[in-house]
Structure 1
């Protein structure tokens, strides 16, 4: 299919001393986009388990160009890959309107049972939901998105 698209507003508090969005705040903005997918969109589809426990096992960010607060909104495209029984990867591509890609990132996500205090397996419904956001080669080359 395609990417999930989240528009995340930039706040004055996201800026650093140089007038750009701080690198650590960029990670928070990516997290807000991830919450839109895993908690909000999943909840709309009746899947509440991910909101009850999902942890980041790994995070990698590549910053391409600085983001000015005046950009207003960061558009984040999220797609899923390496969907396994107890983990998956989310790829991020962030841009501002009228600009090239400002950052790319990936997180390895692990579903977590907070009560038991340990990782858990994805349910079949969660796997089906996540599979909706896997990019196919044809869709990524054509630039089609799923919103």
Structure 2
């Protein structure tokens, strides 16, 4: 599969005094796309443990152009860069519109750790999660899944 695509619509309330989507709202757009992948899509593919707990260990965001709330959606492309025993890294490409050819406005990376909410501690990635994440590894076959 390679790349997971989520289309998210920025809200008018996401814009700041300068007329573009502010940083906190941009991070929320990334979160919404990540939830689509790690909770919704993972559940459909049998990796239900993701929804039981995963935390952000690191976040990096680079802005290439401003995002605007125009009433339309932006395209967020997610891929898995790295999978380790107790964490994985997601890469994001946020395009200014819904098309694959729309300009890149933001790139980002998150390091995520599966977390045992009941016992309050990090946990290892399960085999089902590893298989799910491997399908979205950026070294995959380059296919794109739209949601």
- Structures share a fold, TM > 0.5? yes
Alpha-carbon distance between aligned partners in 2 of 1:118 and 1:111, rounded to the nearest angstrom: 9
Say whether the 8 Å CA contact 1:30–1:76 is kept in structure 2. Answer: yes
Alpha-carbon deviation of 1:145? 2.1
Structure 1 residue aligned with 2:134: 131
Structure 2 residue aligned with 1:42: 42
Report how many aligned residue pairs link the two structures: 143
Greater CA deviation, 78-87 or 42-51? 42-51
Alpha-carbon deviation of 1:48? 1.7
Q: Equivalent residue of 1:127, what SS?
A: helix
**CA offsets 1:38-62 (integer angstroms, 9 cap, x no match):** 0000111232211110000000000
Say whether the 8 Å CA contact 1:71–1:96 is kept in structure 2. Answer: no
Structure 2 residue aligned with 1:121: 124
Alpha-carbon distance between aligned partners in 2 of 1:66 and 1:35, rounded to the nearest angstrom: 23
Alpha-carbon distance between aligned partners in 1 of 2:138 and 2:108, rounded to the nearest angstrom: 15
Structure 2 residue aligned with 1:145: 144
Q: Equivalent residue of 1:82, what SS?
A: strand
Q: TM-score, normalised by structure 2?
A: 0.91
Q: CA RMSD in A?
A: 1.5
Matches within 5 A, 1:1-147: 1-70=1-70, 72-97=72-97, 99-136=102-139, 139=142, 144-147=143-146
Q: Give 4+ residue runs of structure 1 displaced > 4 Å after superposition.
A: none
Long gaps (5+) in structure 2: none
Long gaps (5+) in structure 1: none
Alpha-carbon distance between aligned partners in 2 of 1:83 and 1:75, rounded to the nearest angstrom: 24
